[in-house]
Amino acid sequence: MTTLFVSDLHLDPARPAITALFLRFLREAAARADALYILGDLFEAWVGDDDPSEAGNEVATGLRTLADAGVPVYFIHGNRDFLVGADYARRAGMRLLPDPAVVSLYGEPVLLMHGDLLCSDDTAYQAFRAQTRDPEWRQRFLAQPLAGRLAFAAQARQASMARQQEMIAGDRGTFETVTDVTPATVEATLARYGMATLIHGHTHRPAIHELQVGDRACRRIVLGDWYEQGSVLRVDRNGMALSAL
């Protein structure tokens, strides 16, 4: 049997083909798995569990069907869907995990993250992240009418895209560095948790990296995004492999 990992699907009603691909993945590959882990950014945006998104409803039904068939579904919040709450998790049959989370994969402890915490050189984003994860900010935001929250999410996406375009135009090398993980932060995180394997998403740079942390040989596995195609990490007792769908 195999455990599956996905992240950065960025599901959105504007891209129904990718939602359909994910639902087919749930019916086929995931239905034969030991477990499914979703490491954040399942949705392009999520403004609260009262979000009427058609994609959200379809995905909840697909995930609940999978969970009811006996395949556990685990979820770590991403930077786009950090407001996914207990109500939606119950509806979708997902078990919410902290970020970071330590799990056992076929006898090996593994560290799971969305990955945005590893991008510590992006100080502007880290400040925004700290603000929006504050419980008081969350409470105030969710108390706003749905229309206002949707408008905020749209504005935040536009501001993010504008900032990225500005950074690319100024110095693409700096953009690539700032939006990727900070190596020292990766090493410090692995050392702090005493892990040899880290799996994360967020950067949209799928790869398996070998690195040395002190006297320990470590691996960092980066999941791919689903903007143009599906991407999945398959892990079993014999190893792991990244592949496109």
Is-contact 11 80, C-beta < 8 A?
no
**pLDDT value for 166:** 67
Alpha-carbon distance 23 to 61, whole Å? 9
**pLDDT value for 170:** 61
**pLDDT value for 33:** 98
Alpha-carbon distance 24 to 45, whole Å? 22
Residue-wise pLDDT tens for the chain (245 aa)? Answer: 899 999 999 999 889 999 999 999 999 999 999 999 999 999 999 999 998 888 899 999 999 999 999 999 999 999 999 999 999 999 999 999 999 999 999 999 999 999 999 999 999 899 999 999 999 999 999 999 999 999 988 887 777 777 667 666 665 555 556 679 999 999 999 999 999 999 999 999 999 999 999 899 999 999 999 999 999 999 999 999 999 99
At 203, list the tokens.
């950067």
Nearest to 241 by CA among 58, 60, 29: 29
Q: Is 244 exposed, middle or buried (0-12, 13-18, 19+ CB in 10 A)?
A: exposed
**pLDDT value for 1:** 84
| 135-142 and 123-132 helices, crossing angle to 10° | 70
Is-contact 224 41, C-beta < 8 A?
no
**pLDDT value for 124:** 87
The domain spans of the chain are 3-244
CATH 3.60.21.10 fits 3-244, yes or no: yes
**pLDDT value for 52:** 80
- Strands of 216-222's sheet in order across: 101-105, 108-112, 197-200, 216-222, 207-213
Q: With 0.85 as the threshold, say if the pTM is over it.
A: yes
For Cα atoms 95, 54, 230, give the angle at the middle one, nearest 5 degrees.
Answer: 65
Alpha-carbon distance 29 to 72, whole Å? 14
